[in-house]
Every structure is written in structure tokens, then in C-alpha cells.
Structure 1
Amino acid sequence: MKLKEIETITRSIAWGASKILHSYYCGKNRFETIESSKGNPVTTADIKSNAYILKNLQAFFPQDTFGYLSEENYKNNNCIKKDWVWIIDPLDGTKEFINQTGEYALHIALAYKGRPYVGVVAIPEAQTIYFATKGYGTFVEKLNHKITQIKVSNKNTIKNPSLVVSRSHRNNRFQSLINSFSTKDIIYMGGLGKKITTILEKKADVYLSISGKSAPKDWDFAAPDLILTEAGGKFTYFNGDTPIYNRGDVSQWGNFIASNGSSHQALCEKFMNILNHVDKKAIL
């Protein structure tokens, strides 16, 4: 099966899962909130979306060839011994879902030897899907199934870019970093998929994240990584390295930046210098 055929199947499954999430979000179906062992909430909607995605993917892509790494089924730090691995977040931004901000998404990515080749980010409350296949660009699909290609802006972002950052995952070190940077605007938002789509839609220029006691996981990054890079953006750590998925440890530790790519290296260097200054100041 060709990658574009896989992409078409994935989009169809993402639409089905989006309808499930929306049915719980709008109150058509009631959901319960369960506190996980790590203090992160899980809802009935997470579980139902996850079951739907896995059942439908596995109907087309058997487990003897394809691995499956899902937030709701993840149990240990063992690397999945398959070249092709599905990486799934059935509800990205569960807290936002519970708090009714609308800033939640679902992610489905297919990675080959650690890098995404197919990626879908669905935004249920916008009735929109962003999707990409490696080498083919990024597209947006609406509920009426109208499809248009999308590309990042060519704006020079080294001077006064607008930032999009987490509403809740900000420690003092991270707040000091963004306070020390000259920026046009800061958008506080939940859900990583939703944040990356703000760059695609030219509503923000740069996304930042630095690890504290926790870090983003493979299922947070994989699909947003591909939809941004195929649209012309960059998705790297401060040192320029690209994330590798299914390494065993699902946590993506480190300092991370996503941008439209026009001044990406310069931004990396600038944020590294600011962070070094913040860290030295904290020691003193």
C-alpha cells in the first residue's frame, strides 16, 4: 500500500474519532474523568477515541507488520521492534477538553524508523483536519471534505515574533525565558496540536517548550512535527536536532522550538543564549 493510500485511510479514521470526541465535548454523551497514576486526567472520551482509532487502524494494518504506540495503551519504556509504528494521541489536551476551552486535538502519525511519514492532526471543535505525507506537503480538510494546501508564512521571525506557549506547563525557568525575549505577542494555549496549527494558520510564529519535571511525549510531537515541516516549517530542539520517535523512552526531554523556518537557526541560538543567562542568574 502506498503512503498516500495510507494517508486517506488515516484521515477517514481521524474524522470518525473527531466525531466521538465532539459528542462527549458537546454533552451528547456524558464522560467521566479518571485520574491516572501520574496525575494526568483520562476521560471516557480518551478511552473511546483510542479504542476506535486502534480498531480501525488494525483492520487495515496488521500488528505483525505495524507497531502501535498509543498514550492510552503505553505501559513501559521498551522500543517497539517494528520499522513502521503508529504513534497515537486519541485526545491531545485532556485538561482543555474537561475545561471546555475547545483547545484539544487528536494526533495520528505513522513513523518509519523513528521519523513520521504520515501525520494527521484533527481539531474537532473547528471541524478541521490537518494532514501531511512526507514529500507531498501539508493540507487542510474541512467537514465538507474540501481540501486545500497550506504553507507557513515567509515572515522573518527573528525580530518580535509572536509566541504560542502552554497555558499550564510553565515553570519559573520557562517563564523567565519568555519574559526575557522581545516578542510581539504571547498566546497561551492548551494542546500541542492546536498550538502548531496556529503557526500553520499564521496566527503565531514560534512555539517553545523546555523540559521541567516532565517532558512532551512521542504522541504529542509526531503528527504535529510532520504537518509543520511539510508546510515549510521547522520542528527541532534548540541545538537543531530533529526528534526521533519510538526510541524506548517516550519522553522528549530537552529544549524545543517550532517555527515557520525562516530564521529558525538564529532563533535557536538566541533562545539558547537567553536560557543560559537565565540559568546563570538563577545560580547567582
Structure 2
Amino acid sequence: MSATARITAPTPSEIRARKGGTPLVCLTAYTTPIAQLVDPHCDIVLVGDSLGMVLHGLPSTLGVTMEMMSLHGAAVARGLKQAMMVVDMPFASYEESPEQAFGNAARLMRETGCAAVKLEGGVEMAETIRFLTARSIPVMAHIGLTPQAINTLGGYKVQGRGEDAARVLADAKAVAEAGAFSVVLEKVPAALGDEITAAIDIPTIGIGASAGCDGQILVVDDMLGLFTAFKPKFAKRYAELGKSADAAIAAYAAEVRARAFPAPEHVFGDAAPEPKK
């Protein structure tokens, strides 16, 4: 295991026990410095496969590999002291069979030190979730809009409107009964988010769902204004660090071109200074 165990981090069973209590605070992280920033404030830190788009410039999460998740998971683990770390299982790493899922989930846990894995899917993934949890691999489920399935969902559309609500509710019940310790509800109507939260005995973690969920998660680069390729409706900007960074880089470039940087205080002389007495 490449990460130091976090003695104070909540366990999946403790997260499950938070059902109906103080809302769970969750954010993504992909690097050690960001992990260090979010750790004091979060219950759960997710190493999301959104890193493919946010860090690697991919058009979707479908090109993310196990190697990428392992590398970034280990980096995040080095920055955490108290939050529980969950790592996404990338596309095509678990859908083939429960046995395939177990091998890849065990690899992620071994290589990153994560406390749990997250996988997408509802009714069709219940058997796999049951298989993993029976073999000591805690699972966070993810239903509603599942980004790895955008080719079959027809894009990043709201899920569970009208008659489709029954399907999403069935997915929620299936993953809860299969043993998931929590479930992410992405991009579903608020009323459906509330209905699901009341209907199942595990915490719901909303992203574009309802304030009534048992917790909330956002992509950290979205909420900090660092990722600006597009802005989902649910991604509230708590800062505009991208704009601040652009201004700082522009100022640096201007000073370099004007030979104003480096200034005398930023360079070294020929002789070392005399030691202080």
C-alpha cells in the first residue's frame, strides 16, 4: 500500500450511520496539494474519474484508465489525514463480471490505500456490488446520470423525469439492498432525490439532486472556478481561481518581457553574505 493509513478517517460503516444526520461534505481531489486543502473540511474525498476531463483534457471519462486512477489515488492519499478516500472505478474495469470488478477494486485499494471504491450503475450492478461487499470491498454506488454511460443515455441529460423516476428509484433500492454503504445521485429532479433519500437506509449524496440528500459532492475544480470548459447548473462557483491565475500569469509574462523580473532581490551575487555574529 502506497499511502499512510488515516487513523481518524471515518469508516464506510460510520458514513452509513450518518443517514439522516448532519449532511456529509464531499469533494473530489486528484493531487496531493488539493487533498491537503480539502481534507480538514470534508468527510469524504473522492478521486473521481472526472480527472480525465479536468486534468487530462479528455472529452469524457471514458478514456480514463486504471493506471490513471491508481496514480492520482496514491497522490491524494498522501495529502489526507482525516477524510475517507473513495476511488472511482474507471469505465470497463468492472462491467464484464463480478470477478473482474473484484480484481480491479482490490488493485485500487492495494495501490492507493483507499477505504472504498465507487462504481456506476443500479439494478444491473447489484450482483457486482453484493459480490464485492461480501469480499471486504466497500462500495459507494452512483445512479441517475452516470457519465460512463453517456453513449446510451444520449448525453448529460437529467435522469428520472416523469415515468423514468420509477427506474431510478428501483436502481437506488437495488444498490442499497446489495450492500452499498452510500449512493451518489447525479442530475435527478429534486423531488425524486427526496423520495429516494426517504426510501433507502443508506446515505444519498447529491450532485445536481436535492438539498434534502444526506450529503453533497462537487468537483473541486468546478467549485473553485479552475475548470471552465463548461459549467453544469449544479456547480456553484465559490471562487474564480482560474481568473486570478490568468491575471497572475499575464503579470509575470509582462514583467519578463519588460525585464522587470527577476529583480535584484530575486538573483544571487558572486559572494555569499557574511555569517551573522
TM-score by length of 1: 0.27
More strand by share: 1
| Larger Rg belongs to | 2
More helix by share: 2
